[in-house]
Amino acid sequence: MTFEAVLEELRRLAKGATHAHTGLWVATQLRQRISAGQLTPGTKLSEQALGEALGVSRNTLREAFTALHAEHIITRIPNRGVFVAQPTAEDVREIYRVRRYLEPAAIMWQAPSSVDDLRAIVAEGQLARSRGDIDRMAAANQEFHRAVVARAASERLDALMAQVLAEMRLVFHAMGSDPAFHEPYVADNLQLIELVAAGDNATAAEFMRGYLDRAEAQLLEAMAAQRPAPTAH
């Protein structure tokens, strides 16, 4: 999706909104579009265009930018403006440090409940895999991890996971269109569901830790391979 298309969507949203357009509200709208892959790494976020589309002041927009900058999903470049961030290898390591605490704990301490919601998400990922639709596979995987944390029934954890997933969507661009990153995790998600359904939360949590370790290593390897070769002097 182009930046212009996102602006048009935001214009429609702003006209239909019934509550005050606060900095928090603006940050939420931008975060959701980054998480959905509509705003990609390196996209310039024009203050004037966004302010006009959302009907907010420059101060409100800058309040939103400050929040998103603190979450590492946008970056300010002096004399150039505000851009959607391009995560570094160290950013990836930090994201996975957070995820290794958050997701296994959400699994370990969740109350017994139906896993039908998780099965529906995995089915979406399986369908996307069968069609070779990498974007939908990535989206289903993101939704799966969001739903896993949501089972902890904590608004604060949900908010933290929303930040993590927005930054993760930016990280996925390091994998380009390689299906090898997403395909194995469709099967892993199904295995995780079976452990949770059986009430074996401890094993499921340990499985998630190993899952996250493998994903981190794979991403870091891909990012290292994309680094430009050093210039001879």
- DSSP of 186-215: HHHHHHHHHHHHTT-HHHHHHHHHHHHHHH
| In the chain, ranges of CATH 1.20.120.530 domains | 89-226
Quick one: pLDDT at residue 229?
A: 46
Q: Where does the chain have alpha helices with state H?
A: 3-16, 23-35, 47-54, 58-70, 89-108, 116-131, 134-150, 155-172, 183-197, 201-226
In order of 12, 22, 53, 54, 132, the CA distances from 59 in angstroms are 22, 10, 15, 13, 44
The pTM score is 0.80
Q: Domain 89-226: give its CATH architecture.
A: Up-down Bundle (1.20)
Structure confidence at residue 177 as a pLDDT band (50, 70, 90): low
| pLDDT at residue 17, as a whole number | 76
| Tokens, residue 89 | 């290898």
Distance, in Å, from the CA atom of 48 to the CA atom of 216, rounded to the nearest integer, reads: 37
CATH 1.10.10.10 residue ranges for the chain: 3-84
Give the integer Cα–Cα distance in Å for 233 and 230.
Answer: 9
Q: Which CATH number fits domain 3-84: 1.10.260.40, 3.30.300.30, 1.10.10.10, 3.30.110.40?
A: 1.10.10.10
Is residue 222 scored above 50 in pLDDT?
Answer: yes
Mean pLDDT of the chain: 89
